[in-house]
Amino acid sequence: MRALIMKQFYSGLPAQLYDQFFPEIDEQELAFFIQHIEMLPAPALEIACGTGRILLPLLERGYQIEGFDASLEMLAQCRQKSEPKRLDPILYHQTMQDLELPKQYGCMFSPLGSFQQIENRDDAQKTLRNFYDHLLPGGKLVIYLHLPWHNAQTLGEWHQHESITCDDKKITVSEKLIHEPNKQKFFVSYRYDVWQKSECIAKDVKDMTIRWYSRYEFQMMLQQVGFKDIQVSSGYEDSGPFDVMLFVAQK
């Protein structure tokens, strides 16, 4: 499993602190995925489910959802959070690129641009083929993509991105962005600093590459592997900013 040993962004502080940056359930986001899951045969599969931010609330609401992710640290948090809720999610430690599961799904969905972490376009195309193969006939792929350069801060400089308080600690996240438009790649360095009083007690710097796609390019990639009836909306209610694209494609 080549990609499982790849440099992981979601390890260490980015994995440990992931949920702190999503303190509340986004009902609009959940509703978007539910409308598709409800219409298709169970179970559904969350692509790159991470800590279960979406998967666990869906299970709590009675939907049959399974999930997979490349990060053991993210999956461990998902499992740990499921225990007090008496949920027993079916989780797989796999990558999108080499996905190989023993069944097919009615709906496969990917929130928050996880798919864009596949750096290489040929790998991305092959991954869409994998997704296609894991869908039941008539099943749907629902996939969130965004244009990371839209509203980006000045490139090449560190900017404080977010800050949260957690018990007696303050965590600041700074980011530095580099864009290579010809390669459709956006390179983001994130620096996590954990402060207790005025002392920095932990830090972590991690890099992420985000590959972006134009709307028509991604439509063609979906068509190339056989998807049909491809719909695209801007945001969850199709009134959102143009930099968020939600694709729904049928097998």
Ligand X SMILES: C[S@@+](CC[C@H](N)C(=O)[O-])C[C@H]1O[C@@H](n2cnc3c(N)ncnc32)[C@H](O)[C@@H]1O
Binding region for ligand X (CB under 6 A)? 3, 10, 48-50, 53-54, 69-71, 74, 95-97, 111-112, 114, 117-118
DSSP-derived secondary structure letter, 204 = E
- Of all residues in the shown chain, the one whose CB is closest to ligand X is 50
Which residue lies nearer to ligand X by CB, 112 or 178? Answer: 112
- Give the whole-angstrom CA distance, residue 57 versus residue 88: 13
Please say whether the beta carbons of 149 and 186 come within 8 A: yes
- Give the whole-angstrom CA distance, residue 179 versus residue 117: 15
Listed in order, strand segments (DSSP E) in 53-198 are 65-69, 90-93, 105-110, 135-146, 158-166, 169-180, 185-196
Which residue lies nearer to ligand X by CB, 25 or 220? Answer: 25
Which residue lies nearer to ligand X by CB, 47 or 194? Answer: 47
- Give the whole-angstrom CA distance, residue 101 versus residue 47: 12
Which residue shows structure tokens 């190989």? 100
Which residue lies nearer to ligand X by CB, 150 or 201? Answer: 150
Which residue lies nearer to ligand X by CB, 82 or 95? Answer: 95
Give least dist CB 75 to ligand X, A.
Answer: 8
CA 87 to chain CA centroid, Å, is 22
Which residue lies nearer to ligand X by CB, 40 or 48? Answer: 48
Which residue lies nearer to ligand X by CB, 16 or 95? Answer: 95
Give least dist CB 97 to ligand X, A.
Answer: 6
Torsion angles phi and psi, residue 88, rounded to 5: -130, 75
- Give the whole-angstrom CA distance, residue 233 versus residue 239: 8
Give least dist CB 95 to ligand X, A.
Answer: 4
Give least dist CB 151 to ligand X, A.
Answer: 18
Give least dist CB 198 to ligand X, A.
Answer: 31
Give least dist CB 4 to ligand X, A.
Answer: 8
Q: What are the contacts of 176-185 at 24+ separation with CB within 8 A?
A: 177/148, 177/152, 177/153, 179/149, 179/152, 179/155, 181/149, 184/121, 184/211, 184/212, 184/213, 185/119, 185/209, 185/210, 185/211, 185/212
Q: Give the other-Cβ count within 10 Å of 189's Cβ.
A: 14
